[in-house]
């Protein structure tokens, strides 16, 4: 299947990855809309939020666990937004489920 985010997850297309495990990959958005703008995607091809089912929803729970961990690592202690666009009228331009994490680093970042 020809999918941009599947190719990024597989490392076939370069990206600035900030996290990856067996289930999800996180990388900086190429067109940032906030000082910190990361995309978190499942490795599994799920086309959109409309395609979340009981069979694959555990992946979404894991995405949010990773977001909580990443937010701390990226210095977003003061809060951040998580956005998922769905379908043409929802502004979804890449047909692979993805979660935008948008925020700005706290003054205490980097730690130490």
34 binds ligand DGP (CB under 6 A): no
Helix (H) or strand (E) holding 27: strand 24-28
Under rule CB under 6 A, residue 85 binds ligand DGP: yes
Helix or strand holding residue 18 (H, E): strand 17-20
Active site includes 100?
Answer: no
* Residue 63 φ/ψ, nearest 5 degrees: -55, -45
Query: What is the H or E stretch that residue 38 is in?
Result: strand 36-42
> Residue 30 or 108: which CB sits closer to ligand DGP?
30
* 88 lies in the site for ligand DGP, by CB under 6 A: no
Contacts with ligand DGP, residue ranges (CB under 6 A): 4, 15, 27-31, 39, 85, 91-94
């Amino acid at each position: 299947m020809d999918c941009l985010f599947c190719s990024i997850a597989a490392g076939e297309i370069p990206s600035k990855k900030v996290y990856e495990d067996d289930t999800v990959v996180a990388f900086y958005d190429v067109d940032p809309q906030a000082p910190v703008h990361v995309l978190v995607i499942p490795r599994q091809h799920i086309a959109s939020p409309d395609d979340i089912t009981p069979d694959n929803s555990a992946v979404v729970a894991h995405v949010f666990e990773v977001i909580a961990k990443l937010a701390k690592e990226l210095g977003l202690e003061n809060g951040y937004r998580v956005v998922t666009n769905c379908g043409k009228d929802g502004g979804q331009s890449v047909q692979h489920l993805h979660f935008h994490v948008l925020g700005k680093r706290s003054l205490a970042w980097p730690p130490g």
